[in-house]
Structure 1
Amino acid sequence: MLSDPFLQLPTPDSVQVVWFTEFAGDNHWVQWGHDLEHRTKATTQQLSRTREDEWSYTFKTYDQLSPRPIWRHQAVITGLTTGETLPYQVFSEEHQQIQHSEIFSLQPSPPAEKPLKILLTSDHQLMPMVAANIQQAIAVYGDFDAVFHAGDMVNVPDRASEWFDDRRGRSFFPVLQGRASVQLGNRIYHGGQILQSTPMFPCPGNHEVMGRNSQSKALHLQFKDARPQAIAEEEYFEQQDFSDQQYDPVQVNQWIQDHSFNFQTYREIFSLPPTPAPEKQYYAVSFGNIRLVSLMVTNVWRSAQQNLAVAGRYQESDQQLHEPENWGHGQHIFEPITPGSRQYEWLKEELGGEAFRQAKYKIVMFHHPPHSLGGNVTPPYTDPQPYEEYSPNGTMVHRRYHYPKGDDQIIKYLIPLLENAGVQLVFYGHSHLWNRFVSPRGTHFLETSNVGNSYGAHLADNPRSLPDFIDPSNDFPVGNPNGLSPVIPTIAPLLNDEGEALPYIASNKITVFSVLETNDDGAVVKSYYFDTIKDDSEVVLFDQFILRRDD
């Protein structure tokens, strides 16, 4: 088996059990109940895009891009009773040989009155400190009721080993199932046994998105090769002669995805709650007294560096100026969140719905930061505006991109919508640090993505890298460009060399995890740090804040 089983999509009387194998098998099932007396057959589907290449860290050597057949098995356990926890075990059979997991526990969605402990995490990406982070979270809490993951689970989503069995010992599922093996200093960390008995609710980050599909190009190059779907759509219709063939919208949609970007492996690995637009990756779900809204708010990541040999956030490579088919098109958005867009209109309907309005705690999760001291909060979250510069003889010398700050989709459209609906917590990641903010209307903004490594916080002593042709009043070199000041941790902030309290944690040896706790008295978000290198380090509670109740 490639993974232990994990839980998905709990309802008041059911839950899904999912696991993976490298063989199709003849029969797969779950035994469950007080004495494992019930048996539920699993359905099986082969993942369509999982591959390895010469850059994979596997125990088998690949000298070229190669398919890696992996099968996903899913059983829907029904007839459960709210509040009851039962043992379960999964089995996979091939040629009369049976493999089975250990015995774990499952349960349906919790009742509204149940106190909850929810791990808030993001940006794992096989980074060195993640196993230590998860292990210490389990050491403090013992177990969790759910995991909310704000995206960037792996680096290259079609590379199978990053999910299951990277030989460096820090793949996604092993870390969250207590089967990792990562040495930091004098200690070896194994992660934590969480997902086997705890449902995870994901949202996509930029690292869940693959670029143009290729049968030969290295996986990390395919990942980087994303471009807007509108460009691929225009190219498709320029190439086709519909007088000779019938128009097939399914075929057209697949062609456009293959020539722009796709979420195929992410969608095939996880079970997402149903929505009117299931192909769009956003959803809402009730869990206990929480209404969680998970949005598709992320864009392609491009380098901010000024090297003109690289297609970056602000310019195309000077080596490809005359190759439009190879342009990166700046840091383009995957799914808009503007009025009239499908996601925005769905969100408006969700925020006005009964399930959302009746929830005590209204939480919205997405990947891209609305407020941050990190590097990825710039440029503004809007469609890149191209402009070209030419020499006197008419030769293009630059194709550059501007991102008008006033058109930031998150700040201009999304945040007002969320605040007007009474959202108490907006949870996100992407910049690999911890910092938080509070709006004048009392909405909390938490970025707790310093779980594996950090790229720093950008204050006066560490400005963001911006090309000299960028207006600093539009793309801020320091601070949070969107107005709110960061909150100093309330309990035990880290100090700088002058003994001043820091409003962030951005470290490559200190890792941070955050937990949402709810009970009859209310809800509190607690953040802890842990030094992964010091032998005598202890877990330190350094910040907490209370969410207001809506009841």
Structure 2
Amino acid sequence: MTSAPQLLTDPFLQLPTETSVRVVWFTEFDGIKHVVDYGENLSQTSSASTTKLSRTREDQRCLRRATPTRFGKQTENGQVGQKPVWRNIWRHEAEVTGLTPGVRVNYRITSVREDGETVSSDVFTLASNPKPGIPLKILLTSDHQLKPMTAANLQKVVETVGRVDAVWFAGDLVNVSDRASEWFDDHRGGAFFPALQGRANYKMNHNGVQTSYTGGQIIQHAPLFSCIGNHEVMGRFARTESLDDEFNDTMPRAIAQKFYSGKSLKDNSFNTDTYEEIFSLPKSKEGGKRYYAVTFGDVRLVVLYITNMWRTPTLNAAYKGRYQEVVEDLNNPENWGYGQLIYEPIAKDSQQYNWLEQELNSDEFKQSKYKVVMFHHPPHTLGDNIVPAYTDPVQIIERDDVGNIKAVRYEYPKNADYIIRDVIPLLEAANVQFVLYGHSHLWNRFVSPSGMHFLETSNVGNSYGAAWGDRKREVPIGYQEEYVVLGDPNGLEPVVPTIAPLLGEDSKPMPYIASNDITVFSIFHTETGTVSSYYFDTRKVDSQVVKFDEFELK
């Protein structure tokens, strides 16, 4: 008996222009026809082009820190097999044209399977790129990664502010980019697309009371603009027995060239193929989808590729570390992690830096009312992931008297931090008002002496804490560099929330939220130039969403 056809996702919106927008969706069948019907009485039709994702797979390993990733009818960890298996997924994209700025239009997608069976979505709304002066609500978010509070967070976004006009996502959309179920249908109910489309079913249990959260119907109506976080980058292809290990198996391009000369460089170092295949984003000539700029209403949004490979700070770990290689691999450089390698150069005179300099001098940027820059790695934060400095690791190999390797360790000179030394001065000189980022899984914000605002609003699904009070970062002692254990290592004081800060154990207002029970989201209101942050306590069924902070872009 043939099962009823199903869409793998609802449609979502991408790449709006003044008169058009792209509609994208996914299925597990190639199909013979895929269309978008739109307009009055859905009387207009646009056909979709279809491509197949080239690297999506599933495996038998658990997700980092927790629970098994499952797909299809898999209900127990390890049922897929010992090595990753391919999963066939098709992407469909249609362009809806002839739109009028400021006018919303109904639309619906339909896919026809090879056996003639059809499946359609519900009816949603779309719009083209808004003109300047139109009031917009933009969701600011990051670091979903299928974490426990994400579905609750997104559900409360819709319940609190209604339909948003766009989503700015500051990286780390999932955990392992090539693992298909993390995007589409993880059995725990909190995969990326279901959570952002109101189709999640994530159950949370506090004191015996279970609550299910569906996420929010968001990206069916609003275009998503994202940047690359470290979790969007996959490592050396198909070299290990799990996708977790493959994700961690990155190597600098220059080193890969030495080991794998004549072979595919990205397959033997790192790639962002799945991320780039899933999303239709603006492109720059130099960086493609990896870094770009776009005008959306009153805003010029500049998106940078600023992220590096996360490595553990623990010195005695049994795997590749931030500060040193493991003893077992000292004589096998092909297995080294090479520290927290930077994926895309951003130092002065690099291609991305030169592109940024040119963009900041463009008419589109200068004439925009709001000038915003988004990337993943924090320039200022109380989180752990800002230490060490954002710079290329300096490798130090220690040998004994006969030349045997005793240790391989890495230093990160603070005065060579590319973000602080090279990027921030450019942004300050260009009068950027607002820098948005993620990575450390908390909420905190800062203001530079010139008035440029920095916001990390990544306490969406979970947190790993803040380096504040008695809680210190894990850093090596006795290295050449001094690695900062408390506060923002780059010299700014965190801003205490302006409306309803949470109180610490000393009953004093805390300048951050880092919680695994309280989830945070932020909304940029372009009509007033204000950024409002809200929290929701998932422990209380009857909890109300609280606006706890707000600031204005001048």
Q: Could you tell me whether the CA contact under 8 Å between 2:282 and 2:289 is conserved in 1?
A: no
Number of aligned pairs? 530
Decide which moves more: 165-174 or 49-58: 49-58
**What's 1:29 paired with?**
35
Select the residue among 168, 184, 188 that pairs with 2:188: 168
Q: Deviations over 1:42-67 (max 9, x none)?
A: 00000000000112322334113100
**What's 2:95 paired with?**
76
Counterpart-to-counterpart distance in 1, 2:13 and 2:449: 38
Matched, 1:92 2:111: yes
Counterpart-to-counterpart distance in 2, 1:26 and 1:540: 48
Paired residue secondary structure (1:138): helix
User: What amino acid is aligned across from residue 511 of structure 2 in structure 1?
Assistant: P
User: What amino acid is aligned across from residue 6 of structure 1 in structure 2?
Assistant: F
Counterpart-to-counterpart distance in 2, 1:102 and 1:537: 30
Q: CA deviation at 1:460?
A: 3.6
TM-score scaled to structure 2, two decimals? Answer: 0.94
**What's 1:48 paired with?**
54
Paired residue secondary structure (1:325): helix
Matched, 1:477 2:477: no
Q: CA deviation at 1:340?
A: 1.5
Counterpart-to-counterpart distance in 1, 2:173 and 2:289: 18
User: What amino acid is aligned across from residue 180 of structure 1 in structure 2?
Assistant: A
Decide which moves more: 427-436 or 474-483: 474-483
Paired residue secondary structure (2:30): coil
Q: CA deviation at 1:35?
A: 1.1
Q: CA deviation at 1:280?
A: 5.8
Change (3 A) 1:538 1:280: closer
Q: How does 1:156-305 map to 2 (within 5 A)?
A: 156-184=176-204, 185=206, 186-214=210-238, 217-237=241-261, 240=262, 255-279=264-288, 281-305=290-314
Q: Deviations over 1:106-152 (max 9, x none)?
A: 11011111101000000000000001111111111011000000000
Counterpart-to-counterpart distance in 2, 1:97 and 1:498: 63
Q: Deviations over 1:445-469 (max 9, x none)?
A: 0000000100000024011011233
Change (3 A) 1:6 1:216: same
Q: CA deviation at 1:216?
A: 5.5
Select the residue among 497, 507, 519 that pairs with 2:505: 497
Q: CA deviation at 1:339?
A: 1.6
Q: Could you tell me whether the CA contact under 8 Å between 1:20 and 1:73 is conserved in 2?
A: yes
Counterpart-to-counterpart distance in 2, 1:342 and 1:236: 24
Counterpart-to-counterpart distance in 2, 1:470 and 1:537: 47
Greater than 6 Å deviation, 4+ residue runs: none
Matched, 1:103 2:113: no
Select the residue among 494, 507, 516 that pairs with 1:508: 516
Q: Could you tell me whether the CA contact under 8 Å between 1:350 and 1:356 is conserved in 2?
A: yes
Paired residue secondary structure (2:491): coil
Counterpart-to-counterpart distance in 1, 2:372 and 2:236: 33
Counterpart-to-counterpart distance in 2, 1:53 and 1:182: 22
Change (3 A) 1:368 1:523: same
Q: CA deviation at 1:278?
A: 4.5
Q: Could you tell me whether the CA contact under 8 Å between 1:308 and 1:315 is conserved in 2?
A: no
**What's 1:247 paired with?**
none
Counterpart-to-counterpart distance in 1, 2:384 and 2:258: 33
**What's 2:3 paired with?**
none
Unaligned 5+ runs, structure 1: 241-251
Unaligned 5+ runs, structure 2: 1-6, 62-68
**What's 1:137 paired with?**
157
Counterpart-to-counterpart distance in 2, 1:444 and 1:216: 42
Q: Could you tell me whether the CA contact under 8 Å between 2:476 and 2:483 is conserved in 1?
A: no
Decide which moves more: 91-100 or 354-363: 91-100
Paired residue secondary structure (2:193): helix
Decide which moves more: 95-104 or 16-25: 95-104
Q: How does 1:249-398 map to 2 (within 5 A)?
A: 255-279=264-288, 281-398=290-407
Q: Could you tell me whether the CA contact under 8 Å between 2:259 and 2:334 is conserved in 1?
A: no
Q: CA deviation at 1:308?
A: 4.9
Counterpart-to-counterpart distance in 2, 1:124 and 1:311: 24
Q: CA deviation at 1:391?
A: 2.2
Change (3 A) 1:167 1:308: closer
Q: Could you tell me whether the CA contact under 8 Å between 1:308 and 1:316 is conserved in 2?
A: no
Percent of aligned pairs sharing the same letter = 54
**What's 1:152 paired with?**
172
Paired residue secondary structure (1:512): strand
Q: Could you tell me whether the CA contact under 8 Å between 2:500 and 2:549 is conserved in 1?
A: yes
Q: Deviations over 1:239-296 (max 9, x none)?
A: x5xxxxxxxxxxx6xx000000000000000011121124460000000000000100
Q: Could you tell me whether the CA contact under 8 Å between 2:236 and 2:269 is conserved in 1?
A: yes
